[in-house]
């Protein structure tokens, strides 16, 4: 079946512009996660959705970052007034249940470059 | 901070078993051990996970010590395509379930 899909795969934008990154999770997966990976580093947690609610936003680095999820499906991560330090790969993952031991399944990410 | 420690890098000869260790000495009773790998320019790929017992699937085997303070991922017959960064993660079975990634082990399989 289809995996987690992210778009665009690459995004280049100028400093100060707003960007929207999209994640389509695996169908039926109720949990959705956003992570950020800077060059040469591990993944940093940003935000977690259970259904359309976000009980954990603790990883969002500033109020320029926001995310929403609709229809317990698609999620959008928005970065306003982008800065050069926002350059990274943004990864989305989904899993099938809130509890238990269901692993997260990742997309291939959006590579964001801020000029 | 990550709750796991892994060697920075390892080499393995093609066709031989690759044994990747992970220490998680502060693991809690309800935390699972997950292994993922990341090949350049791709998202992390799920490999295997376990709680107490050893696990095996088509990709790998996971050996967890009896005290659960460490584990080993075994790739039984490594190929060049197994060259990747391997991440060991511990995650609760309740709450946010977010993963906290360390820096992983960079495995290079040599021809």
- Among B89, B66, B67, B69, smallest CA distance to B26 is for B69
Contacts of B44 in chain A (CB under 8 A): 43, 91, 93, 106
Contacts of A94 in chain B (CB under 8 A): none
B45/A contact by beta carbon, under 8 A: yes
Alpha carbons B59 and B63: distance in angstroms, whole number: 14
CB neighbours of residue B16 within 10 Å:
13
Residues 60-89 of chain A with CB under 8 A from chain B are none
Nearest CB among A41, A103, A109 relative to B34 is that of A103
> What does the pLDDT profile of chain B (111 residues) look like in tens digits?
668 999 999 999 999 999 999 999 999 888 899 999 999 889 999 999 999 989 999 999 999 999 999 999 999 999 999 999 999 999 876 566 889 888 899 999 999
Strands B61-64 and B55-56, by their bridges, are antiparallel
């Amino acid at each position: 079946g289809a995996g987690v899909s992210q778009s665009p795969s690459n995004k280049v934008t100028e400093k100060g512009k707003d960007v929207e990154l999209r994640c389509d999770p695996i169908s039926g997966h109720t949990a959705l996660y956003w992570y950020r990976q800077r060059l040469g580093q591990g993944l940093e947690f940003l935000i977690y959705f259970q259904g359309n609610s976000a009980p954990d936003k603790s990883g969002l680095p500033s109020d320029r970052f926001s995310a929403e999820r609709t229809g317990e499906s698609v999620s959008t991560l928005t970065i306003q007034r982008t800065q050069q330090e926002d350059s990274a790969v943004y990864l989305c993952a989904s899993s099938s249940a809130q509890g238990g031991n269901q692993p997260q399944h990742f997309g291939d990410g959006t590579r964001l470059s801020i000029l | 901070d990550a709750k796991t420690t892994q060697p920075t890098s390892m080499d393995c000869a093609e066709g031989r078993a690759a044994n990747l260790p992970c220490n998680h000495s502060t693991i809690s009773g309800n935390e699972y051990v997950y292994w993922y790998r990341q090949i350049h320019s791709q998202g992390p790929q799920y490999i295997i996970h376990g709680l107490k017992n050893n696990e095996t699937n088509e990709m790998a085997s996971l050996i967890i010590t009896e005290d659960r303070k460490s584990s080993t991922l075994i790739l039984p017959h490594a190929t060049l395509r197994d060259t990747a960064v391997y991440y060991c993660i511990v995650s609760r079975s309740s709450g946010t379930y977010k993963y906290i990634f360390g820096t992983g082990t960079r495995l290079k399989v040599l021809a």
